[in-house]
Amino acid sequence: MRTKAAAPARKRASTRKPKPIEASRPGLHYFVIYSVKAAAPSRRREGAYVCCWIDFPIQDGALHLAKFYIRQAGYRPRTVQERTWIEPWEQSPKVAKYFREAKEDGASFVFERYPLGS
């Protein structure tokens, strides 16, 4: 006499909705990027440390945007010296204006330039 094997229990499909990315977080991504500007025929090459405040929820995307705008300014991004997530209350009064600018406009950049070699 044969008996029927019990059918495996089916898992119920989850009715939970995935959590949305919280795009309204109060902080920003902050990067310090070393860059080099190509020499024009009548000018010397120059380097720059670029401080970037980027209002974008994903760090890789924020870094991509920072490098894009640095290239638009005529510099070649070389190395990322610092990358961190910063909150509004972590800002010193000296840089708070750049934080506010990035929250309003999406990004803020400060280029600290210096001459390269002779």
Which tokens is 62 given? Answer: 């924020």
Instruction: For the full predicted model, state whether its pTM sits above 0.75.
Output: no
Burial zone of 70 (CB within 10 Å; 0-12 exposed, 13-18 middle, 19+ buried): buried
pLDDT tens sequence for the chain (118 residues): 555 555 555 555 445 544 434 445 678 889 998 888 865 655 667 889 999 999 998 999 999 999 999 999 989 999 999 999 998 888 888 889 999 999 999 999 999 988 887 5
The answer for residues whose C-beta is within 8 angstroms of residue 117's C-beta and 6 or more apart is 44, 45
Location of structure tokens 């990035």: 102
